[in-house]
Amino acid sequence: MRYLAIADDLRRQLASGELAAGRLLPSESELGRAYAASRVTVRKALDVLREEGLVDARQGFGWFVSAAPVEQTLGRLGTIEAQLAASGRASQRQVLDFRFTAARARVRKVLGVDRVLEVRRVNLVDGVPFARVTVWCPSDLARGLSLEDVEQATFHDLLGVELAGATQAIAAGAVSAADAEVLGVPEGSPALLVERLTRSTSGASVLLSEHVFPGHLTRFVVELTSVDRSLAPSGLQLVR
């Protein structure tokens, strides 16, 4: 049957690595043109592969090669690179922009400084982009840092400041046109939008970061433990 032949060919590409884990597949229309088949036939082929656990689909993304999601545990201060390394997954960063510049209004308000080091990068796991990250650091703390420094190490390791904790706000959103190009996903597709403010032991705000995670590749995990009833809740905040 035609759909089985298409499934066999796609399975071969998956096995050879031509289609890497986490990568988006061509649309059903594009696959139909490539195989001279109807969308119904292509959908049946993809359904076969989904039943085998090789591909999956999400609203807003279309079909993609199945991959274990990148998980970040929120129970302690740390970097996602460290968590990936602990789980045996290869990660890397590609710096897109590195500049000392005047702080934009939001950054100036949060960090309380007029000039910052701004670093925009894309993080990859197993060769697939899973986050666009922009980090802002007060320029006096970042003095002496180079592009090579931030390519090879995290700000946690570079600043020489003892860190006490961070506040992380997570919201649902959509991927912008600029981020779609960087992350290789459709513009407007679902994303997790994260803003993280990291503080030193003196209480100073030392890092502000913005993260955009494609919704089909990432999830955040929070361990909920039994606590005394007198403790105030710290998890969810309603916004209107």
- The string of DSSP letters for the chain reads -HHHHHHHHHHHHHHHTSS-TTPBPPPHHHHHHHHT--HHHHHHHHHHHHHTTSEEEETTTEEEE--PPEEEE-SS---HHHHHHHTT--EEEEEEEEEEEEPPHHHHHHH--SEEEEEEEEEEETTEEEEEEEEEEEHHHHTT--HHHHHHS-HHHHS---EEEEEEEEEEEE--HHHHHHHTS-TT-EEEEEEEEEEETTS-EEEEEEEEEETTTEEEE-------TTSPP-S-----
Instruction: Please determine, for residue 166, whether its predicted confidence score (pLDDT) is greater than 80.
Output: yes
200 part of a folded domain:
yes
For residue 232, is pLDDT > 70? Answer: no
Q: Does some domain include residue 237?
A: no
Q: Are residues 90 and 176 in the same domain?
A: yes
Tokens of 50: 């989904």
* In the predicted structure, residue 10 carries a pLDDT above the cut 80: yes
Same domain? For 51 and 109 the reply is no
Same-domain check for residues 89 and 107 = yes
Query: How many degrees, rounded to 5, is the angle at CA 98 between CA 113 and CA 208?
Result: 40
- My answer on whether 112 and 208 are in the same domain is yes
Distance between CA atoms of residues 130 and 105, nearest Å: 27
- pTM of the predicted structure, to 2 decimals: 0.76
Domain count within the chain: 2
Exposed/middle/buried for residue 167 (C-beta within 10 Å: 0-12, 13-18, 19+): exposed
Whether 235 is in a domain gets the answer: no
Mean pLDDT of 130-154: 93
Do 93 and 208 share a domain, yes or no?
Answer: yes
| Residues in CB range of 39: below 8 A, 6 or more apart | 28, 29, 32
Each residue's pLDDT tens digit, 192-231: 899 999 999 999 999 999 999 988 888 777 777 666 655 5
Residue 240: inside a domain, yes or no? Answer: no
201: which residues sit within 8 A by CB, 6+ positions away?
162, 163, 164
pLDDT tens column, 32-41? 999 999 999 9
Residues 60 and 83 in one domain: no
Mean of pLDDT values over 56-84: 72
Considering the domain architecture, whether residues 41 and 154 belong to the same structural domain is answered as: no
| Closest to 63 measured CA to CA, from 51, 46, 48 | 46
Res 240 pLDDT > 50: no
The yes-or-no verdict on residue 237 having pLDDT over 80 is no
Same domain, 164 and 194: yes
Spatial distance between the Cα atoms of 188 and 74, rounded to a whole number of angstroms: 26
What average pLDDT score do residues 18-30 get? 83
* Per-residue pLDDT tens digits for 74-116: 655 566 777 777 677 778 889 999 999 999 999 999 999 999 9
Same domain, 93 and 112: yes
| The domain boundary residue, chosen from 17, 34, 65 | 65
Residues 37 and 99 both lie in one domain: no
CA distance 135 to 32: 42
Q: Is 45 in the same domain as 137?
A: no
Domain at 11, CATH number: 1.10.10.10
Residue after which a domain boundary falls, among 65, 96, 117 = 65
Residue 236 sits at the vertex; the CA angle it makes with 234 and 238, to the nearest 5 degrees, is 130
Please indicate, yes or no, if residue 134 is contained in any of the structural domains.
Answer: yes
Q: Which residue range(s) make up the domain with 183? A: 70-221
On average, the pLDDT of the chain sits at 85
In-domain check, residue 238:
no
Give the pLDDT score at 184: 87
Residue 166's domain is classified under what CATH number? Answer: 3.40.1410.10
Residues 97, 210: one domain? yes
